[in-house]
Amino acid sequence: MFVDEAVIQVVSGKGGNGVVHFRKEKYVPRGGPDGGDGGAGGDIILVVSTHLNTLNSFRKQRIFRAEKGANGGGKNQTGKSGDDLRIKVPQGTLVYDENTDELLADLVSDGQEFIIAHGGRGGRGNARYASSRNQAPRMAEKGEPGIERHLRLELKLLADVGIVGLPNAGKSTFLAAVTNARPKIADYPFTTLTPNLGVAELNMDVQLVLADIPGLIEGAHEGFGLGFQFLRHIQRTRVLIHMIDGGAEEPLLDYAQILSELALFDSALKEKPQIIVINKVDQPEVAERVPDLKKAFSEKGRTVFAVSALARTNLRPVLWEAHQLLQLQPVEDQVEEMPVYRPEADPSLFTVVRDIDGAWRVEGEAVERSAAMTYWEYDEAVRRFQRMLREIGVEQALSDAGARTGDTVRIGEYELEWLE
């Protein structure tokens, strides 16, 4: 099974809680606060692996969670940080935010890493709040929640050469003949339902990575015949081998049809160097047509070869020609999409809305995170949270909106009672 698109959920690790603790040892008067900080939560990291060539593993597991940070302890002991979770993806993986459709990363290099969700920081222990004015603070901070993201992964195969053509033109047979790939081969249309990769060794120093793209049909650029899924893999190739069935009724028409579908999907595809390969010359009727076909295609300015993929004749010159064309193409053409980084919204911004039951809800990244990190059982921690609400303007906004004594105010998963 070849899977080139997957939707997954990732959750980075929550930070460990800071603790309220005081040094209590015999003969040590006024030991003071010694509550340690919590450990940081683990990050979610995407790692490119050349050992993968599909997204098939994500069919079995769709939710990934990094390890939480450990809570702090007495004697100023900091909790252990959670381990990062590294998720392996194949080369050519595009990472999108499923909710906003924003491209987050284009992963093309072996070993490349991308932190897709940072772990929450550890909460501070009460030792961090000690000062000359407050020598025995009875407050601490809970760990920062982890980040949850829904991602869409799309795979665009990374290959030097793409083999295109109509169904049953002999693309899979050609790939099997020149590489170590073993695609399914049969004498009926659409035998190949998934792209195949293979490596052709021309000599000790020269290798080509070829991709057999399943047969394209008319309307592929509109999605017919799984056209979108197949055409996207051609975008990363730098040279195309256009396989023509020499026994077809109208080889020139077949050639024009494929060119049209490529151009309609992505105008840059029609500019890629192409090698025309007339296949099945082992059949006598095809061999008779080869001179006329070569002449017709040569008039279009294309390099033309006549081969028999089944009999494995005249295949090496095609590969060497592809190698020569690759030397003239810039490697940078492999990357077609780059993530667009946009300035993030100010996390201190918030909104005040009225729920259907009449309660007030305060929504905002900073205020919700602060509520989640507050120890509500400690009065000092609650007073600190109230000061924060006053400083960033939440109290004034609620008052202006019409909040009255006794009203319920919701912040994240917490419900508070409003007092004027």
Task: Say whether pLDDT at 332 is over 60.
Answer: no
- Would you state the pLDDT for residue 223? 40
Task: Say whether pLDDT at 67 is over 90.
Answer: yes
Q: Of all residues in the chain, what percent carry a pLDDT higher than 70?
A: 85
Task: Say whether pLDDT at 346 is over 70.
Answer: no
**pLDDT band for position 293 (cuts 50, 70, 90):** confident
**pLDDT band for position 358 (cuts 50, 70, 90):** confident
Q: Which residue has the higher pLDDT, 331 or 386?
A: 386
Neighbour-count burial for 202-234, b at 16+ CB within 10 Å, e otherwise: eeeeeebebbbbbbbbeebbeeebebebbbbbb
Locus of tokens 């994240």: 412
Q: Do 87 and 123 form a contact (C-beta atoms < 8 A)?
A: no
Task: Say whether pLDDT at 196 is over 80.
Answer: no
Please tell me the least confidently modeled range out of 13-22, 137-146, 236-245.
Answer: 236-245
What structural domains does the chain harbor? 5-155 (2.70.210.12), 161-334 (3.40.50.300), 351-417 (3.30.300.350)
Burial of 133 (0-12, 13-18, 19+ CB in 10 A): exposed
- Would you state the pLDDT for residue 342? 57
d(CA 191, CA 143): 54
- Would you state the pLDDT for residue 271? 78
Tokens standing for residue 7: 């939707």
- Would you state the pLDDT for residue 222? 41
What is the arithmetic mean of pLDDT over 13-41? 88
- Would you state the pLDDT for residue 257? 81
What is the arithmetic mean of pLDDT over 198-203? 78
Q: Which residue has the higher pLDDT, 66 or 232?
A: 66
pLDDT digits 0-9 by tens, 318-330: 888 888 888 887 6
The verdict on pTM exceeding 0.85 is no
H or E segment to which residue 9 belongs: strand 5-11
pLDDT digits 0-9 by tens, 215-242: 554 443 344 344 445 566 677 788 888 8
- Would you state the pLDDT for residue 250? 82
Which are the contacts of 205, defined by CB distance < 8 A and separation ≥ 6? none
Please tell me the least confidently modeled range out of 134-138, 227-231, 372-376.
Answer: 227-231
d(CA 32, CA 74): 11
- Would you state the pLDDT for residue 329? 74
Tokens standing for residue 198: 């293979």
What is the arithmetic mean of pLDDT over 209-216? 72
Torsion region of 314: left, alpha or beta (phi above 0 gives left; psi -120 to 50 gives alpha): left
**pLDDT band for position 294 (cuts 50, 70, 90):** confident
- Would you state the pLDDT for residue 233? 67
- Would you state the pLDDT for residue 71? 95
- Would you state the pLDDT for residue 20? 92
Please tell me the least confidently modeled range out of 89-103, 332-346, 370-384.
Answer: 332-346
